Amino acid sequence: MSQHIYKTIELVGSSTVGVEDATRRAIAKAAETVRNLRWFEVTETRGHIEGADVAHWQVTLKIGFTLEDSA
């Protein structure tokens, strides 16, 4: 089993659809610029209310990725 060192970043994903969509959007955006994504943890969920309905979801994530070995 190889040993890994992880670095974490914190992102907030948002969606009008739901929590899962907000999570997927944040991970997809991170994957555009960060390599070696390995895990995520939802640390906070909140939303915006308009009238009596949920209008917007926000999900705070910690995303872990492995650091590359310098050769």
> Mapped to the 3 state alphabet, what secondary structure does the chain carry?
CCCCCEEEEEEEEEECCCHHHHHHHHHHHHHCCCCCEEEEEEEEEEEEEECCEEEEEEEEEEEEEECCCCC
Token representation of residue 28:
């997809």
CB under 8 Å to 4, separation ≥6 — which residues?
38, 66, 67
- pLDDT of the residue at 70: 67
pLDDT digit of tens for each residue in the chain (71 aa)?
Answer: 467 789 999 999 999 999 999 999 999 999 999 999 999 999 999 999 999 999 999 999 999 999 887 66
Place of tokens 């309905």: 53
What's the one-letter identity of residue 68?
Answer: E
- pLDDT of the residue at 18: 96
- pLDDT of the residue at 25: 97
- pLDDT of the residue at 1: 44
